[in-house]
Chain A
Amino acid sequence: MVSHQLSFSMNLSAARSRRIRKPTLPERPVIEFEDVSFTFNRHPVLEAVNFSVKEREFVSIVGPNGSGKTTLLKLMLGLIHPQAGSVRVFGDRPEHARRRIGYMPQHAHLDPQFPVDVMSVVLMGRLGHSRSFGPYTRVDKEIARNALRQMDMWERRKSHFSALSGGQRQRVLIARALATRPELLLLDEPTAGLDLAVETELSELLHSLAEHLTIILVSHDFAFVSRYVNRVLCVKRTVVAHPTSEVVGETITRLYGSSLKMVRHDKTNSGASGPCAHS
């Protein structure tokens, strides 16, 4: 992988110096993890993680509680840094790629009393695209309105954010992530706390968005996962990637242990009863 990259960049500079037409390059991955290890206070969370995600892929991250799914997303955002290995996003350092990413955190640490209405929260997704001072533009408001409509929260746009239910707040935070008009969308357990109708709508929406952008989502919802995503990343200390069709029950048991029964209510069509089959 390293040597491949080296020759790749040499080709580029050679092309530039000779002023010849750039050869059509192979599609650059959106995310590249190379031998990434991460520890929290000497407690290893991820070890030797290698995977990449291509453009316009729809990928799901699954794994038991505490396996490092959120950690994986935070590494992609450059909110934390690996002790070893390298993370590249759009071929760049994560901090530089941030503005192209829309993120919905699993636990947003928000002040429940904060005086802010729903529309203002979604508009925050426009920061970094909009002017660097002064009010939001009409385009910003238009985009925020669309995002709210997509999450079916337009009627509540003037509500106090703290007056919403947990699931409604989550929808607003998804709308905020959509309002960033990202090229890469990271959603950390977006379906947790959503009712069935909204969940179905969200999955339809993501399915249609996946035509234009790369989506990575953490989910324990195997019905959701096996129905829509192209690939599944199984996390447990390390990361194993599977095409969705490979994902069968046996390995979920291996990954999740006995907790499997609780989640095995799925309605999949392709004989796959859930994600993750290491065989």
Chain B
Amino acid sequence: MCAFLIDLQQHLFLQYALLTGALASVACGVIGAFVLVKRITYIAGGIAHSVLGGMGLALFLQKNGHWEAVTPLHGAVAAAILSALIIGVVSLRAKQREDTVIGALWAVGMAVGVLFISRTPGYNTDLMSYLFGNILMVSTRELWFLVGLDVVVVAAGLAFYNQFVAVCFDGEFAALRGLKVDFFYLLLLCLTALTTVVLAMVVGLVMVIALLTLPTAIAEFFSKTLARMMVLSCVLCFGFTSAGLAVSYGPDLPVGATTILIAGAAYLTMIVVKRLALPGSIGP
């Protein structure tokens, strides 16, 4: 822990990692709250996994096709938005097929990614870092890209805060007030997609869901309004990513997995304490 704090002052990659965690936390706080109350965690999971397809394809084009400008992060964003729109349109038009489509995109996206990455030199390290995170290897360029994503996500999430709350709380009433409910639903899915990309930089796309839901779920217990829930989960998320970095640094553990375990432990502790303190209450 002490070594981490000392090295943090010297090593740029640690500062970048901490900053990446902070950026992810802001997006996670704002969008994670909407994801929780709208109960679209499963959709977010589908999007997160399908992102591998875009990353793999972009990596393949970059390394084999010599498209130097295309980075896996670009591929991730494109794939995330595409799956968000596909799932969104299906869930608006044919709700009963939503599950199937999510499952299909989830697996097909990963399959596409694995295939393309297997045809690219450096197969193992790339695949592993996409799946389980590579927060210690974030470059300056990637950091700026993440800042851009963050600004988009947070600005949209806050500008349309009232609209999102109304659409999530009572879609029928929102429609009667003249809001374009379908538009806001698709926009929310797109923002969720961008958030999963940012979070995937921290913990890898397999574990995105945990980081998207655990801080928010803990925050929900202490919050009367969505706004408060956002602030609190933002703080918690930053706490978890930083703790993950610090704890894993000394013994050289995988950062992503450590972060998730810390978040999971915090969530579990909260449930247990809640049960003991308030025996009357039901469920987490």
Interface residues of B in 175-200 (CB under 8 A from A): 175-179
Instruction: Kindly state the separation between the CA atoms of A115 and B226 in the bound complex, as whole angstroms.
Output: 6
Chain B residues with CB below 8 A from A160, complex form: 224
Tell me if B169 and A127 are in contact (CB < 8 A). no
Instruction: Kindly state the separation between the CA atoms of A62 and B223 in the bound complex, as whole angstroms.
Output: 42
B170 within 8 Å of A (CB atoms):
yes
Q: Which B residue sits closest to A108, measured CB to CB?
A: B170
Tell me if A127 and B229 are in contact (CB < 8 A). no
State how many angstroms separate the Cβ of A86 from the closest Cβ of chain B: 20
Tell me if A111 and B163 are in contact (CB < 8 A). no
Interface residues of A in 161-195 (CB under 8 A from B): 176, 180
Chain B residues with CB below 8 A from A110, complex form: 169-170
State how many angstroms separate the Cβ of B226 from the closest Cβ of chain A: 5
Tell me if A111 and B172 are in contact (CB < 8 A). no
* A125/B37 contact (C-beta < 8 A), A134-B159, A160-B224 known: no
Q: Which B residue sits closest to A163, measured CB to CB?
A: B224
State how many angstroms separate the Cβ of B108 from the closest Cβ of chain A: 31
* A133/B169 contact (C-beta < 8 A), A99-B177, A117-B225 known: no
Q: Which A residue sits closest to B178, measured CB to CB?
A: A128
Chain B residues with CB below 8 A from A99, complex form: 177-178
Chain B residues with CB below 8 A from A127, complex form: 162-163, 166, 174, 177-179
Chain A contact residues: over half helix, strand or loop, or mixed?
loop
A257 within 8 Å of B (CB atoms):
no
Interface residues of B in 218-248 (CB under 8 A from A): 220, 223-226, 228-229
A77 within 8 Å of B (CB atoms):
yes
Tell me if B177 and A135 are in contact (CB < 8 A). no
* A133/B159 contact (C-beta < 8 A), A114-B37, A116-B169, A124-B173 known: yes
Chain B residues with CB below 8 A from A136, complex form: 162
Instruction: Kindly state the separation between the CA atoms of A117 and B37 in the bound complex, as whole angstroms.
Output: 14
Q: Which A residue sits closest to B229, measured CB to CB?
A: A115
Q: Mark B146-173, 1 if CB is under 8 A from A, else 0.
A: 0000000000000111110110111011
Tell me if B224 and A77 are in contact (CB < 8 A). no
How many residue pairs at the A-B interface have CB separations less than 8 Å?
76
A121 within 8 Å of B (CB atoms):
yes
Number of interface residues of A (CB under 8 A): 31
* A115/B223 contact (C-beta < 8 A), A79-B172, A124-B169, A176-B173 known: yes
Instruction: Kindly state the separation between the CA atoms of A99 and B160 in the bound complex, as whole angstroms.
Output: 19
Q: Which B residue sits closest to A180, measured CB to CB?
A: B177
* A103/B176 contact (C-beta < 8 A), A110-B169, A117-B225 known: yes
Instruction: Kindly state the separation between the CA atoms of A158 and B176 in the bound complex, as whole angstroms.
Output: 25
Instruction: Kindly state the separation between the CA atoms of A108 and B174 in the bound complex, as whole angstroms.
Output: 12
A145 within 8 Å of B (CB atoms):
no
* A120/B177 contact (C-beta < 8 A), A115-B225, A160-B224 known: no
Chain A residues with CB below 8 A from B176, complex form: 77, 79, 98, 101, 103
Tell me if A133 and B163 are in contact (CB < 8 A). yes
List 12 extra interface pairs beyond A109-B172, A116-B226, A134-B159, CB under 8 A. A79-B172, A79-B176, A98-B177, A98-B178, A101-B176, A110-B169, A115-B220, A120-B225, A124-B169, A127-B163, A127-B174, A158-B224
Interface positions of A (Cβ within 8 A of B): 77, 79, 98-99, 101, 103, 105, 108-111, 114-117, 120-121, 123-125, 127-128, 130, 133-136, 158, 160, 176, 180
Interface positions of B (Cβ within 8 A of A): 37, 39, 159-163, 165-166, 168-170, 172-179, 220, 223-226, 228-229
